[in-house]
Amino acid sequence: MNKGRKISGGRYKGQRKKKLFEKVGKVRTVKLKETKKKKMKTRGGSIKTVLLCADTANIVDKKTKKARKAKIITVIETPSNRFLARQNILVKGAIINTEIGRAKITNRPSQESTVEAILIE
């Protein structure tokens, strides 16, 4: 049998390359440093503000239901990947130590321009 042909003699179509809109973008990691943002063009002509580094977080206290801005001291734990906590990288679900107390990040900082968190203690 000929390679790349069906029993009937017809050819198999090869897989095509990925188109530009199908390709995966660069991985952005938000590090614990002085706040730094970047504006990016998105599909459809919109502009998206992306966070590259952050040192403050908007923290909501469940008891009082009030939000405050607090300085992030360090990343204590990251359930998704323990190596991210060692490098002080901010991701969703990470537990951070702030001036107010311990807090859990509730948003995706790499996709948005802020760090939102809920107070644990």
Q: What is the per-residue pLDDT for 43?
A: 84
Beta bridge partners of 97: 74, 102
The reply to whether 74 falls in a domain is yes
Residue closest to 69 by CA, chosen among 115, 3, 7, 2: 115
Instruction: Decide: 41 and 25 in contact? Cβ < 8 Å.
Output: no
Question: Residues 25-31: what's their mean pLDDT?
Answer: 88
Q: What is the per-residue pLDDT for 95?
A: 97
Question: Residues 66-76: what's their mean pLDDT?
Answer: 96
CATH number at residue 53: 3.10.290.70
Residue closest to 49 by CA, chosen among 30, 32, 33, 67: 30
Question: Residues 8-23: what's their mean pLDDT?
Answer: 89
pTM comes to 0.79
For the record, the structure tokens of 92 come out as 């969703």
Given the DSSP bridges, would you call strands 30-32 and 47-54 parallel, antiparallel or unpaired? parallel
Q: What is the per-residue pLDDT for 1?
A: 57
The reply to whether 115 falls in a domain is yes
Given the DSSP bridges, would you call strands 56-61 and 89-90 parallel, antiparallel or unpaired? unpaired
The reply to whether 9 falls in a domain is no
Total domains present in the chain: 1
Measuring CA to CA, how many Å separate 30 from each of 3, 5, 56, 84?
49, 49, 12, 10
Domain interval for residue 63: 28-119
Residue 83: pLDDT above 90?
Answer: yes
State pLDDT tens for residues 47-70: 999 999 999 999 999 999 899 999
The reply to whether 23 falls in a domain is no
The reply to whether 10 falls in a domain is no
The reply to whether 4 falls in a domain is no
The reply to whether 40 falls in a domain is yes
Q: What is the per-residue pLDDT for 96?
A: 97
The reply to whether 14 falls in a domain is no
